[in-house]
Amino acid sequence: MSSDVRFTDFKSDKQPTWCPGCGDFGTMNGMMKALANTGNSPDDTFIVAGIGCSGKIGTYMHSYALHGVHGRALPVGAGVKIANPDLEVMVAGGDGDGYSIGAGHFVHAVRRNVDMSYVVMDNRIYGLTKGQFSPTSREDFETSTSPEGTKQAPVNPLALALASGGTFIAQSFSSDAKRHTEIVQRAIEHDGFGFVNVYSPCVTFNDVDTYDYFRESLVDLGEDDSYDPADRDAAKQVILDGDKEYQGVIYEQEDSVPYEERMGFDQDMSDIPDGAPENAMDLVREFY
């Protein structure tokens, strides 16, 4: 950890190919600022990404990185953190990657509570594959694959996280740079799985969930002095409120104990010695 790290240290020399105005620019900038603010450096940071517009974020950030397969970024991130607890692990993905094919991994990553952060760029559409509806699209959202609306209720990722035993659940807006950075920083500092769903508008294919819509609709829980993120019942009310869009730390379990600590995984297991483990052949012969 270092106090001399700047967020620009996390910028790579690769230029993003996202559409001009894409919310993912703001999301990534907040991630880099949060990592720098917490004293992490590129040398002790590992970024894992999935598939979709967010998938190349590891290319655009200067750190250790892996571009995984569709829906499988979370188990890779968990494996990295358990193998080397000294690394700051951040997994990035989109609503399609995380809440569709990756939904099963999401549930188990949340309940396992490995000490890492998960930032999801939720634009409520499949952007990379040219505008099909996603798991978080509205029921009446018209796209090329849902010309009369999706005819199904959207997935509520915050509710899924709470029901799975989440210890840190938050939501931010990519255009609100200061708050977004603060919220991601809180996720990094949390002892356990820090989940942040980010409203990250798609300016090309989604003309409903726009920057203007979120600016007009967002309710910031940080401005409500009476709201207590440690109150699970209060968090449940906010999460199930279908009439409002919220940002802020919605729920945080203050006595959270990360999976690695509970299991006693405190050693760096990433340095694997050459050759087969001792008595490995005896084990093979026992079964064959």
Q: Are strands 88-94 and 168-173 parallel, antiparallel or unpaired?
A: unpaired
**What pLDDT score does 282 carry?**
84
Which structure tokens are listed for 263? 């299991």
Give the mean model confidence (pLDDT) for residues 225-229: 96
Please state the pTM of the whole predicted model.
0.93
Residue ranges of E strands in 71-211: 88-94, 117-122, 168-173, 194-199
Q: Quote the radius of gyration of the chain (alpha carbons, Å).
A: 19
List, for residues 82-124, the tens digit of each pLDDT value. Answer: 999 999 999 999 999 999 999 999 999 999 999 999 999 999 9
DSSP state of 199: E
Length of the chain equals 288
Report CA torsion sign: 142, 145, 146, 147.
positive
Distance of CA 70 to the CA centre of its chain: 14
Which structure tokens are listed for 165? 């035993």
Q: What 3-state DSSP class applies to 268?
A: coil
List, for residues 200-214, the tens digit of each pLDDT value. Answer: 999 999 999 999 999
**What pLDDT score does 288 carry?**
75
Give Cα separations from 211 to 64, 116, 216, 236 (angstroms).
31, 29, 9, 26
Which residue, chain included where needed, has tokens 């798609």?
Answer: 202
